[in-house]
Amino acid sequence: MIFVTGGAGYIGSHVVKLLGEKGCDIIVYDNLSRGHREMVTSGEFIVGDISDKDRLLKIFRDHDVDTVIHFAADSLVGESEEDPHRYYSNNVAGGISLLGAMLEAGVKKIVFSSSAAVYGEPERAPIEEDHPTVPTNVYGNTKLIFENILKKYSSTYGLGFVSLRYFNAAGADPEGAIGEDHSPETHLIPLILDVVLGRKKEIVIFGTDYDTPDGTCIRDYIHVNDLAEAHILALKHLENSPASAIYNLGNGKGFSVREVVGAVERVTGAKVSVVEGDRRKGDPARLVASSEKIMRELGWRPAYAGLDVIVKTAWRWHKRRFGGKW
Ligand code: UDP
């Protein structure tokens, strides 16, 4: 039995859908603080918090859980700086509660949702896994702390873990059944799509004086289904090998904010109103992953690597969810 924390969230729900399609037995556990019940398309659903260790222990024992996929976390960089206690409580203390229940119940395998935010200001691009980890915000720090805890628990208690450091997750289920729905929404692609739908007047570009070809920040957008496939490979790896591992997950291609606006205009046929604004605090100019390691070791390949196909799936979902067709 696979136990998925945070399975009602954006990335978690796409992994849950894929696990369901592959016929896996799963329990989805989410406190619905940020997730949505209707995004959970497979498995048994339990509303609960990862801080509730006794409850977790009972579920692990009653359902013969052998593997955990751990998404449940807060993930807004700005909010993490304003309310660090929330982030250390949920992402670190909550994670420790989960690990405590796993140790007690003898659950020995975990796939962890980490983030490119562990690297901080990059010294080089593309970023490989051995790049220094110096997070520049509390959110990134919580992910790094939890990775370090996993490493220690792995060597001390024999826990097997795979930590996946996501770059910019984007797009939606190609069938249009589920997708991204954050409130507040802070991510670039859904915000531009909001402009197309008339839910927002314009998109503000955060900084146009970066040292990049068009002056705007470059990010590595990776389709959420490609992320989901990597979790399946991580599970297979943990079944076959006791070796823990950390992998980047990105396309290896960077796109600037202006290029993303251009892709949305191409895909939707709409003209997007753009305002050039100031830089957002803590934004590195360029964040691009090397995903060579997961390709080499687990055979992962992105199936939706192009920016237009990512935007196309996001648009299909966004129209349906926010354009009055839900
Ligand atoms: N961005 C922007 N305007 C917005 C939101 C985001 O220019 O309204 C930029 C942001 O500065 C970054 C890129 O778009 O360079 C992606 O931002 P997002 O918040 O989606 O993801 P992040 O890279 O922060 O994880």
Q: Ligand 1 in contact with 191 (CB < 6 A)?
A: yes
Ligand 1 mean position to 58 CA, how many Å? 41
- DSSP state for residue 92 in the 8-state scheme: I
pLDDT, residue 23, reads 97
Q: Which of 139, 153, 221, 247 is catalytic?
A: 139
What is the pLDDT at residue 326? Answer: 52
Pair 236, 274: CB distance under 8 Å: no
**CA of 270: how far to CAs of 189, 192, 274, 275, in Å?**
14, 11, 12, 16
- pLDDT for 84 equals 97
Question: How would you write 24-37 as a 3-class SS string?
Answer: CCEEEEECCCCCCH
Say if residue 126 is preceded by a cis peptide, omega within 30 of 0: yes
Question: Which residue minimizes the CA distance to atom 1 of ligand 1?
Answer: 188
pLDDT tens-digit profile of 141-197? 999 999 999 999 999 999 999 999 999 999 999 999 999 999 999 999 999 999 999
Kindly state if the Cβ of 272 falls inside 6 Å of ligand 1. Answer: no
Residue 241: the pLDDT is 85
Q: What is the mean pLDDT of the chain?
A: 96
Pocket test for ligand 1, best of 77, 189, 194, 206 (most atoms within 8 A of CB): 206
Q: How far is the CA of 204 from the centre of ligand 1 (A)?
A: 10
pLDDT in the model for residue 325? 53
Task: Report whether residue 186 contacts ligand 1, using a CB cutoff of 6 Å.
Answer: yes
Q: With a 6 A CB cut-off, is 80 part of the ligand 1 pocket?
A: no
Q: How confident is the model at residue 52 (pLDDT cuts 50, 70, 90)?
A: very high
Query: Domain spans of the chain?
Result: 2-170+222-249, 188-220+252-322
246: Cβ–Cβ under 8 A, 6 or more apart, which residues? 114, 129, 147, 162, 163, 165
List CB contacts of 212: < 8 A, sequence separation 6 or more. Answer: 218, 256, 285, 286
Cβ(96) to ligand 1 under 6 A?
A: no
Residues 6+ apart with CB under 8 A from 119: 127, 131, 132, 133, 134, 135, 140, 165, 287
Quick one: which atom of ligand 1 is closest to the CA of 218? 15
**Beta pairing, strands 218-219 & 255-256:** antiparallel
The reply to whether 29 belongs to the active site is no
Residue with the smallest CA separation from ligand 1 atom 3 is 205
Count the Cβ atoms, other than its own, within 10 Å of residue 152: 10
Q: Which atom of ligand 1 is nearest to the CA of 216?
A: 15
- Given CATH 3.40.50.720, say whether it is the number of domain 2-170+222-249: yes
The correct CATH number of 188-220+252-322 out of 3.30.43.10, 3.90.25.10, 3.60.20.10, 3.40.980.10 is 3.90.25.10
pLDDT tens readout for residues 274-323:
999 999 888 889 999 999 999 999 999 999 999 999 999 999 999 999 98
Q: What pLDDT, on a 0 to 100 scale, did the predictor assign at position 12?
A: 98
Lowest mean pLDDT segment, chosen from 46-50, 264-268, 284-288: 284-288
Percent of the residues in the chain that have a pLDDT greater than 90, as a whole number: 94
Closest ligand 1 atom to the C-alpha of 280? 11
Whether 2-170+222-249 shares its CATH topology with 188-220+252-322 is answered no
Q: Is 259 in the pocket of ligand 1 (CB under 6 A)?
A: no
pLDDT in tens, 215-243: 999 999 999 999 999 999 999 999 998 79
Question: Residue 107's pLDDT is what?
Answer: 98
